[in-house]
Structures are given as structure tokens and as C-alpha cells.
Amino acid sequence: MLKYVSRRVLLLIPVLIGVAFIVFTLLYLTPGDPARMVLGEQAPQEAVDELREEMGLNDPFFVQFGRYVYKATIKHDLGRSYITKRPVTQELLNVFPTTLKLASLSMVIAVIIGIPFGIISAIKQYSVFDSVVMVFALIGISMPVFWLGLLLILFFAVKLGWLPSSGFYSFKHMILPALTLGAQSIAIITRMTRSSMLEVIRQDYIRTVRAKGQKERLVILRHALGNALIPVITIAGIQFGILLGGAVLTEVIFSVPGVGRLMVEAIKMRDYPIVQGGVLYIAIAFSVVNLLVDLLYAYVDPRIRAQYR
């Protein structure tokens, strides 16, 4: 197991360098001048040229990239934001807790709602309940996030006045963004649970258990659920990775100062160090979540665990 984990962690290095290279290249090719963005549109050209030189933007591509990788790996320095002049790491750490809270809450909502609904849907396949849940799941998957967000704001903040519509200060502030963000995950997890459950309850061993006279409730919870959950864990993990990567639209609609919004603003302002650092962070978050999911997987499924030994 240890060997497996360390191999996975080592694999991160080429992945991160690859990600850094791609982002660096894309930003290098993007039109627009960071120096101009820092100084504003009315600044004279000489001032912009001077700043470009100072920022090292006139150096050839590979010199710039090499310098970045050298600093990032040897000196653990991702640079400073062009705009705020603060270290990139600090800027990311400032917004990370917010995104973590938002993503976790969304995930909790998704799991609490998605798994039971999926199970019931599967047991009562083709019932009215099943149809209704599946319709809602379809809506959940296909509804644009910003639209759902605005609907929720209109209903809960404007009409009823129960919840605040923006900011991220107390638990009350988190409910609407978490619901908005979680909607898609709820739908995906519900569908996944349902289909996986359907597959499992048709297996021979379930029939055997039933034949032995086991109570239906226990057949489902004790014998079917465990196996049905394995693919759900994978999906949930991927979803969580996506949520951690910054839920851009949700964060903008609700003025939540998280990773997603930081990135959007950084891209708009050509704040390259923040964009690069942010993408690296997302890559790391994704890889770590995936690794944890795989470990959890092994823990749940003895067949997989056996392979890692």
C-alpha cells in the first residue's frame, strides 16, 4: 500500500510540470499585456515598456518558463501577484478555506440527498417516486448554474427575505451558494446510486440472500449497498475535485471570495503568477482527491485491496 501511495505521489511531479508548461504556454500566447493591465489604459507607453522590462516579460519564452520552474521547485516560490504584490501562495491560501467550506457543504448536501434518493429510486424502479426523482435529476444536470443561482436568490432572498444573497460570512450565507453548487452533484450522485443499485440487486448473491429469508431492508442495506457504493464514491470524488477547483459561476453570482473568483479576476487582469499558481493548485487538489478516492476504494472493496499488496 505504501509503495502504491508513494508511486502515486511521485507521479504528481511530471503531471504538475506538464500542467505548468501548458498554462505557461497558453498565457504566453494570450493577447494582452500584463504591464498595461497593471498600469491602466491611460498610462503612457514608456511607462508600460519600462514595467515590461522590469517584469521580465521581454525575455524569450524558455527563459521565462525556466525561471518559473526553477523558482517554484528549488525555492518554493510561485512569485508575487502583479496586482497586489503579495506572494501567490498567500493569495491562494487566503481564499482556499472559503472554497473548501463551500465545496464540503455542497458535497454533504449532495451525498445526504443523492444517496437515499438513488436507493429508493432503484428499489421502486418505474414508480411515480422514481420518475419524479429522475426528472429532477435531469433538471439538476441540465440547468445552468447562474440561472439556478438567480432563481434561488429571487425566491429566498428577495421574496421571502430568509437568506442573504451575497457574501460569505455566516452559515446562513453559505446555504444558497452551496445549494446552487450542489445541485449538479445531487443529480449526478442520485443517478449513479440508482443505476449502480439496480445492477447490484439483480446479482445472484442478492437472490441467494433473499432466498434465505433475509428481511428486505437488510438485504438492501447490508448486502447490496456496500457494493453499490463503490462507483458512487468515484463519482463523488471527481465531483469534489471539481468543486474544489473553484466553482466560478457560483462564486461570482454570490460574491463568494473563493478560488474560482480569484482566478477569474486574475485572468481578466492578466495577473499571470496568480493564474499559474491557481491552476497548479487545482491540479494538486484534483490529484490528491483522486488519490484519496482510490484509497477509499481499496478500503471498501477487498478485491481491489488485494491488487495493491
Partner 1 sequence: MFKKNYKLLAMFLTIMLLVAGLSGCGQSSNEAATAEVKDSLVVATTYDAKSLDPHATNDVASSNVMQQIYENLVTLDENNQVIPQLAEKFEKLDDKTYKFYLRKGVKFHNGEELKASDVKFTFERALAKGGSIKHIVGDIDPNGFEIVDDYTIIIRTKVPSTAFLPSLIHVGGGSILNEKAVKEAGDDYGMNPVGTGPFKFVSWAKGDKIVLKRNEDYYGEKPKFSELVIRAIPEATNRTIELESGGVDIAYSITPNDVSRVEENPDLKLLRKIDNSTTYLGFNCEKAPFDDERVRQAISYALDTESIVKSVFRGVGGVAIGPVAPNVNYYNANLGKPDYDVEKAKKLLAEAGYKDGFKTVLWTNDKKERIDMATIIQNQLKQIGIEVEIQVLEWSAYLEGLKQKQQDMFIVGWTCQTPDPDMALYGPFHSSMKGNNNFTFFGDEKVDELIEKGRLLEDSKERQEVYYEIQKLIREKSPWVFLNNGEQVVGVRKNVKGFTPSPFGYHKLYNVYFEDQQ
d(CA 37, CA 247): 25
**Which member of 16, 88, 105, 188 binds partner 1 (CB under 8 A)?**
105
Closest by Cα among 276, 266, 305 to 38: 266
**Which member of 27, 72, 78, 111 binds partner 1 (CB under 8 A)?**
111
Question: Are the CB atoms for 257 and 98 separated by under 8 Å?
Answer: yes
Considering only residues 7 through 26, tell me which ones interact with partner 1, judged by CB under 8 A.
Answer: none
From the centroid of its chain, how far is CA 38?
30
144 binds partner 1 (CB under 8 A): no
254 binds partner 1 (CB under 8 A): yes
172 binds partner 1 (CB under 8 A): yes
86 binds partner 1 (CB under 8 A): yes
For residue 245, which phi and psi values (nearest 5 degrees)? Answer: -65, 0
Binding mask 182-221 vs partner 1 (x if CB under 8 A, - otherwise)?
------------------------------------x--x
**Which member of 2, 3, 7, 46 binds partner 1 (CB under 8 A)?**
46
Considering only residues 260 through 299, tell me which ones interact with partner 1, judged by CB under 8 A.
Answer: 261-262, 265, 268-270, 296, 299
**Which member of 8, 12, 33, 113 binds partner 1 (CB under 8 A)?**
33
Q: Which is closer to partner 1, CB of 91 or CB of 294? A: 91
100 binds partner 1 (CB under 8 A): yes
